[in-house]
Amino acid sequence: MDPILKKYGWNSFFEESFKDYPDGYEAGRVSIEYKNGFKVLTKDGEVRGKVSGKLRQTGIRPSVGDWVVILRDDSRTASIHSILPRKSKFSRKDPGRVAGEQVIVTNVDHVFIVTSLNRDFNLRRLERYVAIAKESGAVPVVILSKSDICDDPEERRKEVEEIAPGISVHVISAIKNTGISELMDYFSAGNTVALLGSSGVGKSTLINMIMGYERQKVSGIREDDDRGRHTTTERELILLDGGGIIIDNPGMRELQLWEAGEGLKETFSDIEELSRLCKFSDCKHDTEPGCAIKKAIKEGTLSEKRYQSYLKLQREFLAVEMKKNIGLKNMEKKKWKQISKYANQIRKNKEKGI
């Protein structure tokens, strides 16, 4: 196994997928995605990559973190011919399309969900991030930043642990330089960590603290609502000197569910378990007698806000699934229309003797 590729996160999973490609093709990892191309890390250094015509026809575009198969055009440019199978994928519904997927990052081992302990702290938004992270195949970790401006950060930690049982929660402060040492164990050689969260929560500051110097530009937050300004403008895979990989991401103001069925069940496992205790198997948790969920809310063992969050995300997920089915039908219809057009053209060419 090539030691340089291994440093980028290459392992037996990817090597098995790549083994049947002929000589001349090589593997590389996408480190930055631009509008018209990519930067790809290879065993011989960084190259500029463009998607081949054949891959473009599939409608699948590489994302930061992807391992791709390239064929060099020259020493510093290459065409990307295929994407190797992904071991994890963090996606959201594309905000600009009715039923489209936007892949954020791939092949990540841990997802750091970063949120600041100011007025922007929001448990319901965290539930959304955790559900999508669980679905991705990566291990979610919650980072509570800016603990120096919070009166009781440990109370906030407990609140997060209640809605995300079993998930590691770390409290940090850049001002006091606390909590960072606990995170360094995640950055073993070849291990990839992606940072996700809203603008201004401290993702770039966290990277600077991990790297030991100001690698990323940082900016302040709006004083009127504690909301952040965009600092990072593109996703970037960064190699750490001591081993490990970190992926920085622009802040996301909108994070709609795409694939999160199992992630929702895991995130709200307490509600799922309660629903199985209801008197009736088809209980709607409304007016039916013997409803375990209504009982738990009344007794205070289940938060009404958490239950409403669960219902909201379930409705959103079902709405997206319905749109997907319509989208798939339209894609299939378009595909057969193109096939028919192509067949008609062949027939006409034969009639003309072409």
**Per-residue model confidence as pLDDT tens digits over 250-276:** 766 667 666 666 888 888 999 999 999
Grade residue 223 by pLDDT with cuts at 50, 70 and 90: very low
Write down the pLDDT at residue 235: 85
Q: Which value, in Å, is the radius of gyration of the alpha carbons in the chain?
A: 24
Write down the pLDDT at residue 333: 56
Write down the pLDDT at residue 221: 47
Which range, 86-95, 167-176, 309-318, is most confident? 167-176
Write down the pLDDT at residue 233: 58
Write down the pLDDT at residue 347: 65
In this prediction, residues 298-307 reach a mean pLDDT of 92
The structural domains of the chain, with segments of one domain joined by +, span 3-83, 89-248
Q: What does each C-alpha distance from 306 to 66, 124, 174, 255, 324 come to in angstroms?
A: 35, 7, 30, 18, 27
Cα 80 to Cα 70: distance, rounded to the nearest angstrom: 5
Question: Is 3-83 a domain of CATH 3.30.70.270?
Answer: no
**Per-residue model confidence as pLDDT tens digits over 124-134:** 999 988 988 88
Q: What is the pTM of this model?
A: 0.79
Closest CA to 116 of 164, 148, 163: 148
- Does residue 317 surpass a pLDDT of 60? yes
For the domain covering 89-248, report its CATH number. 3.40.50.300
Question: Does residue 160 contact residue 77 with C-beta atoms inside 8 Å?
Answer: no
